[in-house]
Structure 1
Amino acid sequence: MSASVPLASNNISEAIEKLRRLSRWDVQSGWKYCYSDSAVVHTVNICNWPLAELNEKSHIAWPSGKQVLYLGQQFVVPDNLSGYPVTGLRLLLNLTWWAEDAQLFVNGELVGVGDLFDCSVRLLLSPSAIPGDEFLVILRLVSPGHDCGALVRSVCVYEAADSAYFDPGFVADELEILQNSLSGNFQNLNSQYLPTENIVDRTFVVKGERLKSEIELAVGLIDWSVVCDRQKFDRSLSNLRQNLLRCLRDFQDVLTAEGAEGEKEKILLNISKNDDSISNAQCPMPNAQCPEVSNFSDQAYTSIYIGESSENSSIYKGKIYLLGHAHLDLAWLWPVAETWEAAQRTFESALKLQSEFPDLIFCHSTPALYAWIEEHRPDLFAAIKKQVAAGRWEVVGGMWVEPDLNLISAESMVRQVFYGQRYTQEKFGELMRVVWLPDTFGFGWQLPQILRDGGVDYFVTQKLRWNDTTEFPHGVFLWEGLDGTKIFSMMSAAIGENIESVKMANHLFDWQVKTGLQSAFWLPGVGDHGGGPTRDMLEVAKRWEMSPFFPNLQFAKAVDYLSLIESQFFPEISQTESQGDASIRESHPILGQDEVIGNLDEFESANFSEISEFESQGDASTLLPIPIWKDELYLEFHRGCYTTRADQKRNNRRCEELLYQAELLSSLATICAGAVYPKSELEIAWKQVLFNQFHDILPGSAIAKVYIDANLAFAEVDRTCRQILLQSLDAIASQISLPSPPQSDAQPILIFNTLNWSRSEVVALPIPDSNPENWQVYDSSGQRLVTQIQMCDRPKPQFTMLFWTSDIPAIGYRVFWLSHKNPETIESSSPKAPESEKTKLGQVTNHLTPKIALCQETHFDTPRKVLENELIRATIDGETGNLSSIWDKVNNREVLNIAGGNQLQSFQDSGQYWDAWNIDPNYQKHQLPAPILKDISWIAQGEIRHSLRVVQQIGKSEFCQDYIVEIGSPLLKIKTVVDWQEKHILVKAAFGLNVEADFVTCEIPGGAIERTTKPETAAEKAKWEVPILRWVDISNHDFGVSLLNDCKYGCDLQPNQIRLTLLRGSTWPDEQADIGIHEFTYAVYPHSGNWQDAGTVRQGYELNLPLLVQVLPKSEENQHKTLPTVGKLLDLSAENLVLMAFKQSEENPNSWILRCYESEGKEAVLELDSDLGLAISQQVNLLEQPISLPSQSDDGKSFKILSWKIASFAVNSSGLYSIIVSL
């Protein structure tokens, strides 16, 4: 037996359409057009303009390229529409366009403007229509540069001038809402609540059929014969509305009286049992013709049939909570300077509307924006603060800006929260409990932990509604992060919405089905370029508040709504600690058709309670279990943003690294040398970088002017940080007790390691003159080292001396010496290598070239070119320039399969509307010919480094790639310089690998995630391009290969192939987006075992943060110097811990904040080991507030850090290093 009683009667649908024809007139086909931009609007004569044609979508379209189109139409108020008199009704022209600029003229006067985002209007032509009145409407529309323009919709609407009265179109919308509500509830009953015949009560089905019949009968009793008499027809509609209310009330009463309880009690059609709006109704049941109710006064007529604007006026239990909103992109199709203007306009508009509509609550995110307002418009800022204090303005966001969250480091995420929360706490007196990220292009898996540690309780987005493949299955869910931390999360309604009754009601009904919650959330307001709610939106909302057939409306803050719905699942939600080793595999199964919506492999048990601020949402039994999402939140869209505007990715990565180093070294310089800590300079630099991480800047989806400004900011950060680095290294070096120089003219060289583990690698030392053969390097013991001279051509031509540095301590240093060779020591051969180095590169290269010599560029005609050291041997195909072999000497196996490695594969990548954002999903079907090999030449063949240059051409673009192997290194580096000149071309570097695996591990901010190489579900197949951070690894049990990078973020994965996406050629919104010179490096790292065993995390950091080299001034005096020749300043003593930050405390200049994360998915123990006497005093959260220490050992010196945890500590210095000098 089926309980389905779909309410889709032709009678009802026909009545809806007939009612709309009485008050709405589609005028789309009546426009005339002119392309001339010389028209004088107030004198124009449109009589001779041709009639515009409609396309298949009924749009009036015209070409892209910012072309101007004029549309004109003369409107004459008729006596009636389809017989219904319109005299005295308000006349509005509803318009929707797709145009970069829109100007609206009525009778020659400019009455409205708009753009791509403010793209719809209800234009008032007459407050009281008089037949025969004429209105000449001219639209001046400018098409977007990238897309055709269109007039999408134009409808004349006649509606009641007094919002307390209805009109036929209003009643039509009420009928459609009722129809959708009842149809949806019967269907939901059938599919979820009553799955078996044993539960179905025949009474419900019979009464449901009766209700359907009675509603159809009531609609059938509309007296269409009196349409021409507005008063009589309106009374007929009054009878209809009252009869419908009585039908619904009696249906509910019957169910209650006849014992429809248990499972059926869950729905009751969402009709309120205590419906005061119909308690005094006198109209009989609709089993006969209803008499006219002419004796009702207008006041009673309004009260009975539209309902008082009160809590109980609606037949629905559900309520729609409203929050005024204006999404404001800090930069996109406009520069940042224009954003400040849009913000002022938006905020002033919201404040003005709040003075007219006392119920209006408005919200906005982005502390960076408030900070600008505070500085430049203190009057406006003061007004906002007043409304915040009054509870009518909500500051949401949780972060400094709304950033991209795929491409930034975990520490950048921390600072986004830190600076955002710190600002709102200082200026508004409270932390932001809601992170508000409606437009960010995906969310990394460590975000829940970072948010909760930063005082954020709720996560809100709507962006996954943009998915191009699957529908995100949940409206409300717990998002469980990589470490086990959970945050209460909501997929909100779309942003930038209007007050559209049918659309809003449908959203409520869908929300009830999806979540089991009675009330939904709606965000009215023009967005993207600001704007916010309009007066018309608020007036329309006020009108619908009085309809008993529309859910109750109430403005509310986001945090209050989230607290309300959270209380229906939990009395409180707490952070959950993960235990033991954590899995990083995606763990959400795909729903079957017979599964309850929201079902995952586990649910959180639900306890229910009421809160005082809002009404209860109903019985706990009506709610579904809350699902837990244990994965990243991957956006199935905008996959090109991992690659577009490669300069931004490189600049951001470089500045993140520089800020880490500048903070670290300036902190150490303050501790050990009493240097002044540059707190202000570092905060300014951080905020510049955080601003440039905005979700339409860093992803590459803005106009060219935005990137001129962004690159200036990045350059300023670069200069600031490098100056801090130099000053800090000098300060630290001033405290180092130098060893005796090997020669009197020797100059000390400081090699500093900014990572928290010991390192051995090749460094490059600039030579101070043009005679590099006259210089030599010694270690601190006076041992002369093997060196190699090489010409460095970037950023400017200069000789450098390469030498191997061994065992540079964790966050520490060694001192070396640079000196002139004595005449008697200048020889044609190199010095003997130390015994420890004799088994390395020199043993396999002696036959190739003299040991120390300036390597001139030489060309070979041999079919193969070989680079090797003691660990790997790489072979380049002399005909193609591709990598044909990598032999792993340690594991005695070939790394590549027959396909080879580093194949530059190019594809046509066009046809996407969101050009900068999206890669063509079918790009693999359009592969272009292989690159043309232009040249192969040796750059270096010495004791320290082999480097082979391969030059290839793709289209008009040149790829210059240096293959590099170095002494002691297991990496094959590929240093790349590209002169990119292509448009709508995508280039990937493909590596066919001699290892196969079902899963590939990708680094993400603050952790790692496994992604399948054999997708089966639609969601898995949608991940055909995924984001990574510094590395991606494919491994089986005994062998694997990691692909490292210094600024490339997109890749695709197969069981035995990794392809790194290098460049794209988008043309909108920036026609020249990636045209120009690009520099980047990636590297192949073959290894034994899995990525944890191989230390891939460390290799990725080392590629990005090479050892620092600082030439020091000569010093004759070692007295009072307190640091040793070889120093270890900060060691965390655990292989799987990575230092994220070491900085001065914000509140206490004598305390330091150390932050690290567990990087391999297994528990770690932190023990500080430092020559500076540093010791942990207490654990803190990321806001630097003390928290409990459940993981502290008995001796107070070691701390347990669980898998994937980010942990912060306050650190104090002792002994000799206690003098602090601060700003």
Structure 2
Amino acid sequence: MEKTAHIISHSHWDREWYLPFEKHRYYFIKLMNNLIEQFKKEGNNFKSFHLDGQTVLLEDYFAVHPENREIVKQLIEEKKLYIGPWYVLQDAFLTSSEANIRNLQIGLHDTKSYGHASKIGYFPDTFGIYGQAPQILKQAGIDTAAFGRGVKPTGFNNTVSDTPNFESPYSEMVWKAPDGSSVLGILFANWYSNGNEIPVDEEEAKTFWDKKLQDAEKYASTNQLLFMNGCDHQPLQKNIPQAIETAAELYPDYTFKHSSFDEYTEALKSSLPEKLQVIEGELRNQRTDGWSTLVNTASSRIYLKQWNNLCQTLLEKTAEPLAAMNLLAGGTYPREYIRFMWKSLMKNHPHDSICGCSVDEVHREMVTRFETVSQMGDVFVKEKAVELAEMIDTSETPEGGIPLVVINTTGWEKNDVITEVVDLDKVYFSEMHFEKIPVYLQEKETSNYKLIDDQGKTIEYQLDEPVIEFGYDLPDDKFRQPFFAKRSKLSFFADGIPSFGYKTYYLVPAEATVQQVEQKDLETQIDSIEMENEYVHLQFHEDGSYDLMHKESGESFHRLGIYEDTGDIGNEYMFKEAKGHAAITTKGMAAEFTFLERSTLRTVLEFTQTLSIPVSADDRLAIERNQLIWHKEREAGRSSELTTIKLHTVVTLAKGMKGPVFKLTIDNKASDHRLRVLFPTGLKTETHKADSIFEIVTRPNTPEIEWENPSFCHHQQRFSSLSDGQMGLTVATDGLQEYEILKEDGTIAVTVLRSSAELGDWGYFPTPEAQCLGIQTAEWQVLPHEKDVIQSQAFVDAYQFKVPLVVVEPSIHKGVWPKTHQFVQSEANGLAWSSMKVAEDRDDVMIRWFNPAEEKASLQASIKDYQSYKSTILEERTNQTEDLYEAEKYEIITLGFYK
């Protein structure tokens, strides 16, 4: 049978990596200009070019050459230049579920303005891929995925493994998601550079093709062979038409074709064998030796992951649903600004960016981008919250009272202790000379207050001593309005705030201060350091570890929270433990304890430990780095010189919390090391669960037999969890995305700091800032529960961690909405809520959940005066309308609502 060699010209373009963004952009502009000239010069002899699956590159180019927009648009319309479907080639595991969806939504939205999208799920260099990718692609109308990692026989560094036990004998396979959705998977078994720099010279071409054809045929299931003509930041091969002519003359039994993915996949599908290997779920290189899985990028520069989690949570869990609630209340939905915020954030999501595996200049620029997104999100949420609050009727506020609207932007009812600064009194500069205002406010007697809810019920609260502070308003219809205000921190337990809704409270004058929370004595003996609320009890030991009791069951977990430090002689991509040095832990090391707050509202405890550890790796590591010794082969140990690092831990247990929250502050003075916090559960189980992309995935505690790496770390989104079926322990985190299950006592080990000093790929690129010296922080919550994290629905608390209620102090006015309201009525029956937004191209409200369980689940949701329908991740309006929807096992389900 005659074979066809499909040659696809491309250049895999990391926007930033071993060079910072602007340096890479300089070379990308050269590539694009050469490409435009090539199409002009060669005409139909140069068939097409694949622009790496990401539309952001066009924005990068048009920022410099806007005059070429129409030329590029024409090339796309003529299917010579292929773009999309993504906005950026982001990392799959380190960006949130909704970020992965926005990446596809915004990429496809952008392709509409250019005329054509490449409908292939393109993951050329993604560092492993989540198991729900086939379902996401199928919902987007994409039935084929191409990827370079995650399935044997692909090896790291563009090499092919010849060991047995391939997951697939072919480079083509069926890739199936947990819900049963499947796509055709195309593995770059010889990497995405297997057709790079094809010779024109006959002798060179003969040598080239003899090897390349054999390599491709080794794994091809059909007579359609794929050759990727390009590589990382590869300049355009201008003589590819001539190179193809040479190949055709040398090999008359083959058809050589300058092709595209559209043409290649069409030919491939028509010639596939009846049976292909089925690959299920996550692609994480499970069947390799484990030395080059790149999972340790999850702990490289953890501060980036923390920034990203903050920004993602701000956009998808607060800004978008708040804006959607505004629309339902009668306001507007500024989708262009929301899309702009997402684009700004996603420029930090490419795999070499968010993974923390680039040079220092890249990651400095990323922090600036994160700060920018945070600023945009903060002002957006503030303004949208005020807009919503100004539509609420607060006219019944008692005289002299202060209304407070508490808004819940999540898909679950929320109970939380709120601490909010309130303005007890305020004088504008327009009312009094500004120099006199502070004295006036200081001398003016402060009222006594009581706090009441919307039903008039008195609520226990805490009001701190007021202070005088400057502030200003920015009205829509006049110049800025500066003022001084008498301000105080108000804390209270907000109970039963409805999902997608709000509740109004009032701080009102009273004859005497009432219902202030009871303060407890802060002094305590070291042998009686305890914390307790209605759900859990903690007993701390001298070394800072603690026993955690789940009150309902009476079961306890013991000696949680030991810190462990090991040497790290790896790089930004990979952890490698220093040779010959045992881990250093805080076990048995006395801690200094202080209670910061003890009241009926919350207890806050801090403790400090000083850990003496080696100052760095030993001198051998510098030699190994300079000689480009691969991490696997390194022999360096830890320095004999010691330094100390301070570990400062603050523990908070508030009313309503299902488990304590910890914040660790590290004064890191050491290099080349890793710090983890350990949770020895004592549970006997072969598997565990972890939060992933639209999935609470089950993973084995021990690796496959091919695995040689002593470390078996994993990615997580929000949490990891162990359960023996009777009891479970879940650790929810804030941007801590690497964990490992240790054999000892069923221990969950979460990485809180990793220090390295080189990029670690194809050369020696020093990255001293990856050592993360100085002050670093980490936050997590420990949740004991019965059964597992799904059956107990402990995942609700884990997902709610670090998603705040929004509090507004509105004016007193007539409004069209009642004091308490829920915009969306829903019964999700064990489903996990993911997002609430408005559609990309119309004013339909879109709400998404996913089913984390194997059993079907029912979903009932309604909005007054709106019709509902079942949609997809691309938000198409359908005729599938029900009173009660069913979510199949592991299904991602999106409902749309329209008037």
- Verify same fold: TM over 0.5: yes
Q: Which amino acid aligns with 1:478?
A: V
Residue in 2 that maps onto 1:1156: 849
User: 1:989, CA displacement in angstroms?
Assistant: 0.7
Q: Which amino acid aligns with 1:331?
A: E
Match of 1:403 among 55, 70, 90: 90
Residue in 2 that maps onto 1:1174: 866
Match of 1:1026 among 701, 709, 714: 714
Residue in 1 that maps onto 2:269: 566
User: 1:729, CA displacement in angstroms?
Assistant: 1.8
Q: Are the equivalent residues in 2 in contact too, given 1:894–1:994 (CA < 8 A)?
A: no
- C-alpha change, 1:405 and 1:501, in structure 2 (3 Å) is farther
For residues 421 and 1023 of structure 1, the distance between their equivalents in structure 2, rounded to whole angstroms, comes to: 39
User: 1:922, CA displacement in angstroms?
Assistant: 6.7
Q: Which amino acid aligns with 2:753?
A: L
Answering whether residue 104 of structure 2 is matched by residue 417 of structure 1, we say yes
- C-alpha change, 1:419 and 1:1051, in structure 2 (3 Å) is same
Answering whether residue 518 of structure 2 is matched by residue 852 of structure 1, we say yes
For residues 325 and 1077 of structure 1, the distance between their equivalents in structure 2, rounded to whole angstroms, comes to: 43
User: 1:353, CA displacement in angstroms?
Assistant: 4.1
Q: Are the equivalent residues in 2 in contact too, given 1:432–1:455 (CA < 8 A)?
A: no
Q: How does 1:784-1183 map to 2 (within 5 A)?
A: 784-788=458-462, 800-819=489-508, 822=511, 825-826=512-513, 852-853=518-519, 860=524, 862-878=526-542, 880-883=543-546, 885-896=547-558, 900-910=559-569, 912=570, 915-920=571-576, 926-928=582-584, 930=586, 935-954=592-611, 955-1018=643-706, 1024-1054=712-742, 1056-1069=746-759, 1070-1073=767-770, 1074-1113=772-811, 1115=812, 1117-1118=813-814, 1121-1149=815-843, 1151-1170=844-863, 1172-1176=864-868, 1178-1183=869-874
**Residue aligned with 2:102, SS:** helix
Q: Which amino acid aligns with 1:882?
A: S
**Residue aligned with 1:1092, SS:** coil
Answering whether residue 555 of structure 2 is matched by residue 555 of structure 1, we say no
Answering whether residue 248 of structure 2 is matched by residue 545 of structure 1, we say yes
Residue in 1 that maps onto 2:452: 778
Structure with higher Rg: it is: 1
For residues 393 and 775 of structure 2, the distance between their equivalents in structure 1, rounded to whole angstroms, comes to: 44
**Residue aligned with 1:781, SS:** coil
Match of 2:399 among 711, 731, 744: 744
Aligned CA-pair RMSD: 3.0
Answering whether residue 197 of structure 2 is matched by residue 498 of structure 1, we say yes
For residues 629 and 924 of structure 1, the distance between their equivalents in structure 2, rounded to whole angstroms, comes to: 39
- C-alpha change, 1:415 and 1:1030, in structure 2 (3 Å) is same
User: 1:956, CA displacement in angstroms?
Assistant: 4.3
User: 1:667, CA displacement in angstroms?
Assistant: 2.0
Residue in 1 that maps onto 2:620: none
- C-alpha change, 1:697 and 1:1182, in structure 2 (3 Å) is same
CA-to-partner distance for each residue in 1:633-673, whole Å, 9 max, x for gaps? 1145212211112222112111112112212111221221x
For residues 310 and 464 of structure 2, the distance between their equivalents in structure 1, rounded to whole angstroms, comes to: 24
Q: Are the equivalent residues in 1 in contact too, given 2:224–2:264 (CA < 8 A)?
A: no
Q: Are the equivalent residues in 1 in contact too, given 2:414–2:497 (CA < 8 A)?
A: yes
For residues 421 and 184 of structure 2, the distance between their equivalents in structure 1, rounded to whole angstroms, comes to: 54
Q: Are the equivalent residues in 2 in contact too, given 1:772–1:799 (CA < 8 A)?
A: no
Residue in 2 that maps onto 1:731: 387
Q: Are the equivalent residues in 2 in contact too, given 1:413–1:450 (CA < 8 A)?
A: no
- C-alpha change, 1:773 and 1:481, in structure 2 (3 Å) is farther
User: 1:685, CA displacement in angstroms?
Assistant: 0.3
User: 1:629, CA displacement in angstroms?
Assistant: 0.7
Residue in 1 that maps onto 2:412: 757
**Residue aligned with 2:25, SS:** helix
Q: Which amino acid aligns with 1:523?
A: M
Answering whether residue 124 of structure 2 is matched by residue 458 of structure 1, we say no
User: 1:540, CA displacement in angstroms?
Assistant: 5.1
Q: Are the equivalent residues in 1 in contact too, given 2:3–2:253 (CA < 8 A)?
A: no
Q: Are the equivalent residues in 1 in contact too, given 2:566–2:578 (CA < 8 A)?
A: no
For residues 225 and 465 of structure 2, the distance between their equivalents in structure 1, rounded to whole angstroms, comes to: 66
User: 1:938, CA displacement in angstroms?
Assistant: 0.8
User: 1:407, CA displacement in angstroms?
Assistant: 1.2
For residues 792 and 997 of structure 1, the distance between their equivalents in structure 2, rounded to whole angstroms, comes to: 53
- C-alpha change, 1:417 and 1:708, in structure 2 (3 Å) is same
**TM-score, normalised with respect to structure 2:** 0.82
User: 1:534, CA displacement in angstroms?
Assistant: 5.1
**Residue aligned with 2:249, SS:** coil
Q: Are the equivalent residues in 2 in contact too, given 1:756–1:1131 (CA < 8 A)?
A: no
**Residue aligned with 1:334, SS:** coil
Name the structure with the higher strand share.
Answer: 2
Residue in 1 that maps onto 2:82: 394
Q: Which amino acid aligns with 2:536?
A: I
Answering whether residue 322 of structure 2 is matched by residue 665 of structure 1, we say yes
Amino-acid identity (%): 17
User: 1:627, CA displacement in angstroms?
Assistant: 1.0
Q: Which amino acid aligns with 1:448?
A: P
For residues 1034 and 1201 of structure 1, the distance between their equivalents in structure 2, rounded to whole angstroms, comes to: 25
Q: Which amino acid aligns with 1:905?
A: E
Q: Are the equivalent residues in 1 in contact too, given 2:449–2:513 (CA < 8 A)?
A: no
Residue in 2 that maps onto 1:481: 177
Q: Are the equivalent residues in 2 in contact too, given 1:461–1:490 (CA < 8 A)?
A: yes
Residue in 1 that maps onto 2:352: 696
CA-to-partner distance for each residue in 1:1101-1131, whole Å, 9 max, x for gaps? 2112122222222x1x43xx33222211113
Aligned residues: 791
- C-alpha change, 1:337 and 1:950, in structure 2 (3 Å) is same
For residues 789 and 1201 of structure 1, the distance between their equivalents in structure 2, rounded to whole angstroms, comes to: 46
The more displaced of 885-894 and 503-512 is 503-512
Q: Which amino acid aligns with 2:827?
A: S
User: 1:1209, CA displacement in angstroms?
Assistant: 3.1
**Residue aligned with 1:920, SS:** coil
Q: Are the equivalent residues in 2 in contact too, given 1:373–1:381 (CA < 8 A)?
A: no
User: 1:818, CA displacement in angstroms?
Assistant: 2.1
- C-alpha change, 1:819 and 1:1165, in structure 2 (3 Å) is same
For residues 1006 and 1052 of structure 1, the distance between their equivalents in structure 2, rounded to whole angstroms, comes to: 21
Q: Which amino acid aligns with 1:667?
A: A
Match of 1:524 among 229, 238, 257: 229
Q: Are the equivalent residues in 2 in contact too, given 1:326–1:533 (CA < 8 A)?
A: no
- C-alpha change, 1:418 and 1:781, in structure 2 (3 Å) is same
CA-to-partner distance for each residue in 1:161-201, whole Å, 9 max, x for gaps? xxxxxxxxxxxxxxxxxxxxxxxxxxxxxxxxxxxxxxxxx
**Long gaps (5+) in structure 1:** 1-271, 273-316, 570-605, 608-624, 832-850, 1214-1223
For residues 926 and 1201 of structure 1, the distance between their equivalents in structure 2, rounded to whole angstroms, comes to: 49
For residues 745 and 1012 of structure 1, the distance between their equivalents in structure 2, rounded to whole angstroms, comes to: 61
Q: Which amino acid aligns with 1:479?
A: W
- C-alpha change, 1:1211 and 1:1067, in structure 2 (3 Å) is same
**TM-score, normalised with respect to structure 1:** 0.61
CA-to-partner distance for each residue in 1:558-612, whole Å, 9 max, x for gaps? 221122112223xxxxxxxxxxxxxxxxxxxxxxxxxxxxxxxxxxxx55xxxxx
For residues 1148 and 718 of structure 1, the distance between their equivalents in structure 2, rounded to whole angstroms, comes to: 26
Q: Which amino acid aligns with 2:793?
A: G
Q: Are the equivalent residues in 2 in contact too, given 1:739–1:780 (CA < 8 A)?
A: no
- C-alpha change, 1:639 and 1:1016, in structure 2 (3 Å) is closer
Q: Are the equivalent residues in 2 in contact too, given 1:907–1:924 (CA < 8 A)?
A: no
- C-alpha change, 1:551 and 1:799, in structure 2 (3 Å) is farther
**Residue aligned with 1:697, SS:** helix
- C-alpha change, 1:882 and 1:821, in structure 2 (3 Å) is farther
- C-alpha change, 1:803 and 1:917, in structure 2 (3 Å) is same
User: 1:714, CA displacement in angstroms?
Assistant: 1.9
Residue in 1 that maps onto 2:484: none
Residue in 2 that maps onto 1:341: 26
**Residue aligned with 2:756, SS:** coil
For residues 466 and 773 of structure 1, the distance between their equivalents in structure 2, rounded to whole angstroms, comes to: 71
Q: Are the equivalent residues in 1 in contact too, given 2:829–2:858 (CA < 8 A)?
A: no
Which structure is richer in relative contact order (CA contacts within 8 A, separation 6 or more)? 2
